[in-house]
Chains A and B, each alone.
Chain A
């Protein structure tokens, strides 16, 4: 009996011990918050957070255009703005000749050229819609005005305006870069976030409808900015390194509308058919001086700048199709066929690809060289070493390199230039038939920056004419516009020249005219993967039939 009692006591103790510890161990709260990253509720609950969400979208845009290798490696090379032999992000593949179709498979490096811009331009639209929905739901964005002042100000209005600007930017760049995209309104965005609408089921819109939506959204933003509200967009929240007031924002937005229309054209025919009066009306309200952004690590960094000015094996040079039209006839070392009637650029383009080598440019354009071919111009400098890989084709070589600004994190980047606006005005006046007005707009940069003689309505027909076509003859007035816009617009961002050059018909035969739906999006939305480009391919630059600044039918 004693033993049984003792046993029972032991069992009781054991049971208590097990039960107690099991209870101790089992009473954990298994809900652990993620303190590293906010969710939607935390991200959008505080007015300052909503403002940060709106404001930070400009950085998304800036980085995509200037600080992400997936764009700044391949696109400037594909656009014949810059040249190089590095292969990262498909740069060599997409810029080599003869051009091949764009490889829109996820396993191809070059597909990142499509995947990331598609993702981030859409992300801008989605975030802007989120901000607009929160504001429409009644959130008053009261935030401190400036760094020193802690007094709260109702900044709802400026945030609504800026969100519309960002949404329009995202849609506008989708329309310029891709053949199609989704156009999502605020209500649809709300449903997608709530998982009550499957984005896969929505229809894709063709690029012109996406562009129209972008312009309509931008006009809403312009209407708000033009109201007498007098708001300021403080640097740290919005454009990161400089303040922008409502007046300047309005001008910036008009400039982008002009871009959407002009750069949206895929071919010279598209360009000629534009409503140039409408373009002119926006240009009249555009920026009146360069819109520059101070670069500052880590606030704003432009890797694109350091890439195009770097001298290592990853460096890029100025493509001869950009600076070559400035070349003048005349003998020079290394060009046995150059004479009083033949330019080195002309001789270069006449050679097979495997026989094209670097050459020195003789030009009066002081942006490209100094008085001698091997001295620096104001925008470009002469490089004695190639530092490129000859096995990848010496036709990629160039003796000239960008030097207007060279640091990715110091100095300024010209984000929107007055010269670009003037030269778009020149193009508008050209197509509206006002040739002398067009010449006047060209001469602003041509004379002041290039130190070239003024051009007239008849074009530059002088002995030392700039630009020249690939047969050595002087270019037309329109050629002068395209040349000027390319030289002045170089180095702004990694996409501008591509958009502009296709409408001017400057791109190399076979170059893709617009990007297909990104492979990630096609797969994510259950659509087929397709592609464009390549010599003879769909949505590709056709073989040239007339002599232009960049091609010659005999050698194409």
Chain B
């Protein structure tokens, strides 16, 4: 069955629900009316969402707190009242009679406690947080809109939800973030969560997920962190689920239309704290000129003789330059948005448009431009039928920044890379004798291309509630992603200054599109038997996704300056088509006995084309229970600890193989055929089983505490196993290996002050996550830093150590201990018989001792018993603990939002430093400030560089404390504006603010930023540094 047919049928069926028109006569209907007030102040509350369970009927309170729900069939209902900032309230047994209004007035208690908010994603139907039997993190608009994210909507939860590990490894505008929930579940497959936006399950084959979403529209983000909570999502959910809901206009008072605009202007600033050497190690004559090995003066840098003592302590003959400062410029940052929202009795909608422009901090980087629009609409057709439509489109352009930070940092300090020609252009070779092309010239002169992206999300939801206890719903969602790139090199462009060659011209276009379509049908039945409330949801879901990539490259251009493929004389191309078909069936039974004992059961069966032909189906499930001790009659702490709950959940979820994994593949290219991968008909998804133990409490309705201990175990890892070479195949994907994880999470919230004009609330999160490979039944393998082998963590750094004490001395030198000393840098070095490390005998030639080769005074690599280099665990990239502290204060119109985020422990591998040791450009190589006896020759640092092997010296503590978000705003009300003379045209309000992002970092890490690499591989390799960002904002509401 084709995709088009699937769409047509599901769409038709979704709309067809509306054909089940209400059969109850409005003539016999009743009306529910009432007023919602603040329980403490008695003031009316606007924008409270009132829902009547078992129907699609609902309303929103107006400015006077009044609401009206008409055309209700006579009967007994449960009515819910919800509003952000207030504890949800349910009123059961509300009796609506025909022909007359029923009055139901409610007082809502103020709360910002997450425990008291609704959980909407982890179960088939929303459930009150206090009744949820598993951990769910939640961030609301209040915590997002104060400081909208610049690079990814997903970053909005960084440091705000326990158990979430987010790393912004690249500060290049338009690059996203790495997100990991709790611990990594997969050794060879991805550990990113699944994303759901307004019911749209985002495609799995597209890489730009977190970049394309606009944070300004977000109403809430719910984080379902592990397999137990995410079991409902089956084979894709082992890494958890992030569910994003955007604004729909229904959080405004009823019969309200609002237009608001928001603009933000400012700049991004790069750090510049990498220490580079300001002196050199080349020989000079008495006239302060460089000399050759023969002793004659030279200006040819390549023929300079090295200073015999090898110390980089010589002043450059001429002027020196701070090239680091030259290649960073503040980049302009601005966002603009406008949205129109309306909330009426039967319809609410939001239309928004946003534009973001962020220039890079690297000189010449044009940065990232994104434009997006959103339309969300809900409409209720009578009492029984409702539908919702959501649409989002984003287009963006990311300039390919030339991330040649290594080259930039490696230029000697006497080379001025900022010098320009008469036309104001950077020079290709700032110093002709340095055969390294100036990256600033490349940035300015070469068209290194742009990445273009577009994203379209659309969903249609239909809901039909024919009976008070039964509702049917359907969802059809569509995610379309487009990625395009181009890269043009004009004919005649110098392709290498060292090879003295010019390009014949080349042009490359790449295009990647992903179409992901999901359709689902749900039937939910609600029943009450005495004190037992039951909810059963049966669901069916189908997924269809296609990903098409193709590229064409033309070279050898006929004419100059004609960037057209037709101009090329030689073409090469590439293409790949991926199609995924999956379907699943699930049953979710919820049992609630008097709000005291809660049980949630899930059974799901998934089939997918990604599984081997002999293993097409997989089962998942969940058992979760909660015991609300505070609901017991005998509960002794009532009035102090208002809510006390114990909970436990065990559930399973999966990680799917990738498209090609199950297939036998032979590679064809340019007319040749070679074997590639041996297929596997039995390939199954990896299965994660997670147990979640929790304790939750609410104290005096103002303080909450959530504690969770989580254990996970993922078996049947989808792993590429190397095959014997004679088979001709490189590898086979097999189910082998297992990983376990352990996580401790704490979330504490407090409403310190809750007065009419002054509020202060805080959220504190903390977590600690550890994982280990418990089984690895194939050859151990080295990743970038990690060693994939039983007993290792996926964040371990595995490599070599430099000897630092006599116990580290390689066995081959046993008996010669007196010839070694620990020097002032803490390294054990060879000093010879009766020698001292201060003796400065570095110019001695290599010493052969018992088969080993040593340089006098240089560090020594530790060895194992066999005499080869010892490799062992040097550190771990996962923090010992993460702590986030979020504060929101308001005083009248003044609001302050501040977030501190700390990583305690955990290491970062500073490959940037290691390479600068190799290039002899790091500040440590500069010996000018040392006393004569403490100086070390350049070869000493080359030894520490250790041929670029992973070495303990470059493993650094990644601890930090960051002021990640700071915002101060003041809102002028309509009354105040009127007094300023705006009269009747005065807007409803104007908010003026200043915002800082990533403003301040306290760390001992010596690189640009300890937030480097990815959540599991903390590898700092000349990455684009994350900027500090400082802006001013203005928001006007009409």
Contacts and interface: CB of A to CB of B under 8 A. Distances in A.
Interface stretch (A53-61, A211-219, A268-276): A53-61
Contacts of A298: 570, 572, 670
B667 interface: yes
A21 B667 contact: no
B674 A127 contact: yes
A404 interface: no
Interface in A382-428: 384-387, 390-392, 394
A370 interface: no
A49 B673 CA distance: 8
B519 A25 contact: yes
A27 interface: yes
Contacts of A433: none
A391 B938 contact: yes
A334 B17 contact: no
Contacts of B519: 21, 25
B323 interface: no
A386 B303 contact: yes
Interface string A20-40: 111011111111101111111
A524 interface: yes
B672 interface: yes
A350 interface: no
A200 B474 contact: no
B726 A184 contact: yes
Nearest to B731: A524
B20 A520 contact: no
A202 to B, nearest CB: 8
Nearest to A127: B728
Contact of B660 (A37, A56, A118): A37
A311 B782 contact: no
A390 B780 CA distance: 37
Given A32-B580, A39-B664, A60-B674, A385 B300 contact: yes
B544 A122 contact: no
Interface hub of A14, A101, A118, A313 (most chain B Cβ within 10 A): A14
A106 B781 contact: yes
Contact of A334 (B1, B293, B726): B293
Nearest to A122: B725
A387 B665 contact: no
Nearest to B5: A24
A32 B20 CA distance: 37
A11 interface: yes
Nearest to A393: B939
B671 A11 contact: no
Interface in B928-946: 938-939, 942
Contact of A10 (B467, B520, B577, B939): B467
Interface in B840-855: 843, 845-846, 848, 851, 853
B541 A524 contact: no
Contacts of A118: 725
Contact of A123 (B13, B472, B576, B728): B728
Interface in B654-699: 659-660, 663-668, 670-676, 679
B726 A34 contact: no
B122 interface: no
B1015 to A, nearest CB: 22
Contact of A27 (B1, B608, B778): B1
B230 interface: no
Interface hub of B500, B675, B721, B725 (most chain A Cβ within 10 A): B725
A319 interface: no
A209 B436 CA distance: 50
B544 to A, nearest CB: 7
B871 A107 contact: yes
Interface string A472-508: 0000000000000000000000000000000000000
Nearest to B542: A25
Nearest to A130: B728
Contacts of A60: 672, 674
B10 interface: yes
B466 A10 contact: yes
A524 B724 contact: yes
A52 B660 contact: no
Given A43-B666, A126-B727, A14 B470 contact: yes
Contact of B6 (A13, A24, A109): A24
B9 interface: yes
A21 B947 contact: no
A237 interface: yes
B726 A93 contact: no
Interface string B575-586: 111111111010
A157 interface: no
A294 to B, nearest CB: 15
A199 B671 contact: no
Contact of A13 (B20, B293, B541, B727): B20
A22 B722 contact: no
Contacts, number: 264
B551 interface: no
A98 B726 contact: no
Given A22-B585, A125-B726, A126-B675, A36 B576 contact: yes
Given A106-B781, A297-B570, A521 B728 contact: no
Contacts of A334: 293-294
Interface in A499-534: 518, 520-521, 523-525, 534
A229 interface: no
Interface stretch (A351-359, A449-457, A461-469): A351-359
Contacts of A11: 466-467, 470
Interface string A194-216: 00000110100000000000000
B13 A21 contact: yes
Contacts of A122: 725-726, 728
B948 interface: yes
A119 B435 contact: no
B540 interface: yes
A173 B780 CA distance: 28
B616 A17 contact: no
A375 interface: no
Contact of B726 (A108, A182, A523): A182
A535 to B, nearest CB: 7
B577 A26 contact: no
B609 interface: yes
A103 B660 CA distance: 33
Nearest to A23: B540
Interface hub of A18, A36, A193, A310 (most chain B Cβ within 10 A): A36
A179 to B, nearest CB: 15
Interface in B745-784: 778-782
B306 interface: yes
B730 interface: yes
A464 B739 CA distance: 71
Given A36-B660, A334-B294, A312 B679 contact: no
B498 interface: yes
Contacts of A228: none
Contacts of B667: 37
Contacts of B6: 24-25, 28
A496 to B, nearest CB: 23
A21 B10 contact: yes
A121 to B, nearest CB: 8
Contact of B435 (A56, A200, A312, A384): A312
Contact of A56 (B663, B673, B843): B673
A126 B293 contact: no
A333 B294 contact: yes
B726 A37 contact: no
21 contacts: A17-B16, A27-B1, A28-B6, A28-B583, A32-B579, A32-B580, A36-B577, A37-B666, A39-B666, A40-B664, A55-B671, A56-B671, A109-B948, A297-B555, A312-B498, A313-B435, A352-B845, A385-B303, A386-B303, A524-B724, A525-B724
Given A18-B472, A37-B666, A40-B666, 12 more contacts: A14-B523, A24-B10, A25-B6, A28-B544, A127-B673, A199-B723, A334-B294, A385-B303, A387-B302, A523-B780, A524-B722, A524-B723
